[in-house]
Amino acid sequence: MRQRVLAAPVVPAPEPWQRIAYAPVGGLLGIGFASHPGTGQDLVMVVSNDGHGLFDAITGEKIARDRDPDPEDGSRDADPALLCPGLGPIAGSRVRIAGLFGGGLHTTSGDGWKLEVVAPAWPNERVLLSRDGGLPHSGPYGEGWWHIFHSHYSELRAAGFSPSGQTLAVATSSDLSLWTRGAGHGGSTGAQA
């Protein structure tokens, strides 16, 4: 099994997934998902050593930035490493963060897509995407599972689906990559969580 995963090259995610963004983010600590209050579409919050950023998960565009977030923000009983204040269209809310300090993102989309992070050549982790909820490496490569990301240059911080299942994000200590199957990219918008 290890040799099979090691031999699998990085390939684009299959249809209906479209890679829409690669954003350099130095000192990335973690990411989290939120829903736009007006449209319901997915948003991605990024927490780094240089502040917080909010990305539109359909276009990949950065829509809000806070270079100097208040470290005292939030309730005293909330862990500031796992929750951060919203900004831009989600100001006034809190976003759960997964990354260097813990937490986690969804590993299934709810309609058959599954994500698995493996490290057959530790410490370089690989992100595998599969269809129909099976083990990513159980069927033929390129038909039922795909190696879509290899973090050989930076530490993997988090990988997973948005609660809606329409966005897939991979964050390393140096960048954010986004895939969507949402509106405008050949997928349905689906129910928002």
- Give Rg (Cα) of the chain: 16
Amino acid 61: pLDDT: 94
Distance (Å, rounded) from C-alpha 185 to C-alpha 171? 21
What is the secondary structure of 122-140 as a DSSP string? TTEEEEEEESTTS-TTSS-
Tell me, what's the pLDDT at 80?
56
Enumerate residue ranges in the chain where pLDDT < 50.
74-78, 184-193
The pLDDT of residue 191: 31
pLDDT at residue 137, rounded to an integer: 67
CA separation, residue 36 to residues 8, 64, 140, 184 (Å): 36, 12, 38, 16
Please answer whether residues 90 and 43 qualify as being in contact, where contact means their C-beta atoms are separated by less than 8 angstroms: yes
Q: Which residues of 47-73 are buried (b: 16+ CB within 10 A; e: fewer)?
A: bbeeebbbbbbbbbebebebeeeeeee
8 A C-beta contact, residue 173 and residue 123: no
Is 189 exposed, middle or buried, given 0-12, 13-18 or 19+ CB atoms closer than 10 A? middle
Residue 143 pLDDT: 86
162-172 pLDDT, tens per residue?
999 999 999 99
109 Rama sector, left if φ>0, alpha if ψ -120 to 50, beta otherwise: alpha
The pTM assigned to this predicted structure is: 0.88
